[in-house]
Every structure is written in C-alpha cells, then in structure tokens.
Amino acid sequence: MKKEWLTKGNHQEICCGNCGSIQNEIAAMDHHSGICSNCNISCVWYYLTNENVVQIIPEFAPNSIKLFIEWCQSELDELEIIELIIELEKIGKLD
C-alpha cells in the first residue's frame, strides 16, 4: 500500500495511511499526536464531524504541513483548530 500522509473517512471507518487498517474508535477531537492502534505510527486524528474524520501522518507529510501541525498543537486548542480547518476550507473553495 502506498504511504499516504492524509486519509479521510468517517467516525465508523477510516483507513490508516501507513498500514491500511480500518480504525473505528476515533470518537473525539484531539489534535495532539496519537498512534494507529495497528501499526503504532505516530499520527494526528482530526475528528471534525461524524462524517469527516481525517488522519495526518506527519512523517509522510510535506514539511510545511509538519511545521503547521506542530504550530497548531502548541498554539491552538481543539475548538480553535476545528474553526481554523473550517475557515481554511472556505479559502480552498473560493472561486
């Protein structure tokens, strides 16, 4: 399986970008680093809504993303990061 730094799913099913194993215990927003329960790779699980759960694996991510995540972890709390992601989404959708 190709190593992905970003995978998307929902709270019932999201595949790990490293090992491909399905995770179904992501039930809370925590922007601090966690691990995949199968392969133990360090990653962050962003639980935005039931339908929108994201895994980011900093080890595989572009350096800018890695630095951005570190900044978010030290400067923002859980609610602020959700807000930030929603606002970034708006920027990405501008036309």
Joined together, the tokens standing for residue 81 give: 């990061």
Q: How far is Cα 34 from Cα 54, in angstroms, rounded to an integer?
A: 13
Q: Could you tell me the smallest distance in angstroms from the CB atom of residue 82 to Zn ion?
A: 24
Q: Could you tell me the smallest distance in angstroms from the CB atom of residue 33 to Zn ion?
A: 14
Between 24 and 80, name the residue whose CB sits nearer to Zn ion. Answer: 24
Between 38 and 42, name the residue whose CB sits nearer to Zn ion. Answer: 38
Joined together, the tokens standing for residue 23 give: 């995770």
Residues 87 and 47: beta-carbon distance below 8 Å? no
Between 11 and 18, name the residue whose CB sits nearer to Zn ion. Answer: 18
Q: Could you tell me the smallest distance in angstroms from the CB atom of residue 17 to Zn ion?
A: 8
Q: Could you tell me the smallest distance in angstroms from the CB atom of residue 63 to Zn ion?
A: 22
Binding positions for Zn ion, rule: CB under 5 A: 16, 18-19, 36, 38-39
Between 36 and 81, name the residue whose CB sits nearer to Zn ion. Answer: 36
* DSSP H helical ranges for the chain: 63-75, 78-93
Distances (CA, A) of 15 to 35, 49, 87: 13, 16, 25
